[in-house]
Chain A
Amino acid sequence: MTKERNGAGRLVLAAIAAAAITLLVALLLTNIFERQQEARNPFYRVVALTDTTVDPAVWGKNFPLQYDDYRRTVDQVRTRYGGSEALPRTPTDADPRTVVSQSRLEEDPRLREFWAGYAFAEDFREERGHAFSLTDQMFTGRQAAAAQPGTCLHCHASMYVAYKRAGNGDLIRGFETLNPLPYAEALERIGARHPIACIDCHNPETMELQITRPGFIEGIRALRASQGQPDFNVNTSATRQEMRTYVCAQCHVEYYFQGPEKRLTYPWAKGLTADSILAYYEENGHKDWTHAISGAPVLKAQHPEFELFSQGIHARSGVACADCHMPYKRVGATKISDHHVRSPLLNINNACQTCHHATEEELLSRVHTIQDRTFELRNIALDAVLDLTRAIGREKADSASTRVRAAQNYQRKAQFLTDFIEAENSMGFHADQEAARILALAINYARLGQAALRGEPVTPPAPARTAPPQVVTPNSGSRR
Chain B
Amino acid sequence: MTRKRLLIAVAALIGVMIGLGGFTFVYARGFSYLTNNPEACANCHIMDEHYAAWRKSSHHTVAVCNDCHAPHDFVGKYWTKARNGFWHSFYFTTGTFPDPLRITPGNREITEQACRYCHAAITEMIDHTSNAHDADERLRCVRCHRHVGHWVR
Contact = CB atoms under 8 A, between A and B. Distances in A.
B16 A11 contact: no
Nearest to A35: B45
B121 interface: no
B6 A8 contact: yes
A39 B43 CA distance: 11
Given A18-B14, A25-B17, A29-B24, A4 B99 contact: no
A26 interface: yes
A22 B13 contact: yes
Interface string A348-362: 011001110000000
Given A25-B20, A26-B20, A8 B2 contact: yes
B130 to A, nearest CB: 22
Given A349-B98, A350-B99, A31 B93 contact: yes
B100 interface: yes
B135 interface: no
Contacts of A355: 153
A349 B98 CA distance: 7
Interface in A272-312: none
A15 B99 contact: no
B9 interface: yes
B27 interface: yes
Nearest to B19: A22
Contact of A32 (B10, B21, B24): B24
Contact of A19 (B6, B13, B27): B13
A4 to B, nearest CB: 7
Contacts of B14: 14, 18
Contacts of B82: none
A11 B24 contact: no
Interface in B1-44: 2-3, 6-7, 9-10, 13-14, 16-17, 20-21, 23-24, 27-28, 44
A12 B152 CA distance: 51
Interface in A345-380: 349-350, 353-355
A22 B99 contact: no
Contacts of B45: 35, 39, 333
B28 A32 contact: yes
B100 A349 contact: yes
B100 A350 contact: yes
B93 A18 contact: no
Nearest to A333: B45
Contacts of A25: 17, 20-21, 24
Contacts of B89: 28
Given A11-B6, A350-B99, 16 more contacts: A11-B7, A15-B10, A15-B13, A18-B10, A18-B16, A18-B17, A22-B13, A28-B28, A31-B93, A33-B27, A39-B45, A349-B98, A353-B102, A354-B100, A354-B152, A355-B153
26 contacts: A8-B3, A11-B3, A11-B10, A14-B10, A14-B14, A15-B10, A18-B10, A18-B13, A19-B13, A21-B21, A22-B13, A25-B24, A28-B24, A28-B28, A28-B89, A29-B23, A29-B28, A39-B45, A329-B99, A330-B46, A349-B98, A349-B99, A353-B100, A354-B152, A354-B153, A355-B153
Interface of A: 4, 7-8, 11-12, 14-15, 18-19, 21-22, 25-26, 28-29, 31-33, 35, 39, 329-330, 333, 349-350, 353-355
Interface of B: 2-3, 6-7, 9-10, 13-14, 16-17, 20-21, 23-24, 27-28, 44-46, 89, 93, 98-100, 102, 152-153
